[in-house]
Structure 1
Amino acid sequence: MTPNEFAATIRSIPDYPKPGILFRDITTLLGDPRAFRRAVDELVQPFAGAKIAKVAGIEARGFILGGAVAHQLSAGFVPIRKKGKLPHQTVRMAYALEYGQDEIEMHVDAVTRGEQVLLVDDLVATGGTAVGAVQLLRECGAQVVAACFVVDLPDLGGVAKLEALGVPVRSLVSFPGH
C-alpha cells in the first residue's frame, strides 16, 4: 500500500481529545484486514532477517501492532505501560507531556543487556512517550535498533527527538498539523 492508501484507512476526528486537535484514529486501519496486514508487513520489512530479540510496544495501540510485529520477526514482546499497571517489579521513566509529566514502566527482567529491541507504537507526535521508552529500554541495557510508527505528525517534532538520540525512525504515513 502507498502512504496515501494507508492514510485513507485512518479516521480523522476533529477536536479530540480537546478543541483544535485533529486526532488520527488507526482503529479503522486495524479493522481493515488488508490494511492491517500490509501495515504490519511494512513495519517488519526493513528488519526481516535482523537479530531483533524483542519488540517493545507502548500502551495501548502499540501492543496491537507490536505483538503482530514481534510474531512476524519471531521475537519476544515487551509491554511498556503506564505507571501501576504491571504486576511484577518494574523500572520506571518519567517523560514530558505537552502540559506536565507522566511515567511509563516495564518489568525489570523484560530485556537483558545487549538485546536488540525494536520500539513500536501507532503514532509519533511530540515524541515524549517514545523518547521515554527509548531511555527506559536503554537504562535496562537494551540496544534500541529503531522506532516504528504507522503515523508521523512531523510538525510536532517527535521524529527529530528520536533521531537526536541515534534511533532511526520508520513511519508509514505522515499527516500535517496536530
Structure 2
Amino acid sequence: MANEVFPIKSKRDFNKMKNALDGRNRLLLTLGTAFGLRISDLLTLKVGDLRGQDLLHIREKKRKKLRVITFSPSVKREIKEYISNDVADDDYVFASRQGGGKPITRVQAYRILNDASKRAGIYEKIGSIGTHSLRKTFGYRLYENGVDITRIMSMLNHSSERETLKYIGITADEISEAYESIEV
C-alpha cells in the first residue's frame, strides 16, 4: 500500500461513503475521522473504552504519547447506535468476524474502506482511500472548521505547518483561492 491516500474533502462524498457502510464498518469510518488516530491505535479500542464514556484516554503506539479525546454528541450517538449492549466491555470494537478475540487487521480495514468508496461511487473522484484517509480527513475537517494550523499540527504530532498542510491535502491553489476570497 505504498500509494498515497487522500482525505475525503467533500462532506457530500463523506456522507455517501458513510451511507455505503453499516454497523461496525460505519463506526470505523466515523471514529477514524472523529478521533484522528492512526489505524493501529483505532483497531485496539475496546467496547469499554467507548460505551458510556465522554472521553477516551489512549497512549499512541507510534509516539507513546497520551491523547485525551473528548467525544462529540454525534460520536456518542454513533457509539450508542452501533455498539450493542450484549457485547462485553473487553471485546474489541472492531472485532474480527473470524473469531479468536482479535480485532480486524489493517488490511481488512483498508478493504472495507475501499469497497465502500466504490459502492458510494466516489473512488474514481477522490483516488485511493486507505486507512490513513480517515486521519487525513480528521485534519482536513479541523482546518476547514477554522482550527489553527499549529493546533492541528500538534494534534497530528507533526514537526511543521508545511508538513501538516501537505498531509491534509491543502494545495497551493486552495491557499491562493483563500487569499482571493478576502474582500477589503
Question: What TM-score bracket applies, with the shorter chain setting the length?
Answer: under 0.3
Highest RCO, 1 vs 2 (Cα 8 Å, sep ≥ 6)? 2
Higher Cα radius of gyration: 2
Q: TM-score, normalised by structure 2?
A: 0.26
Structure number with higher helix proportion: 2
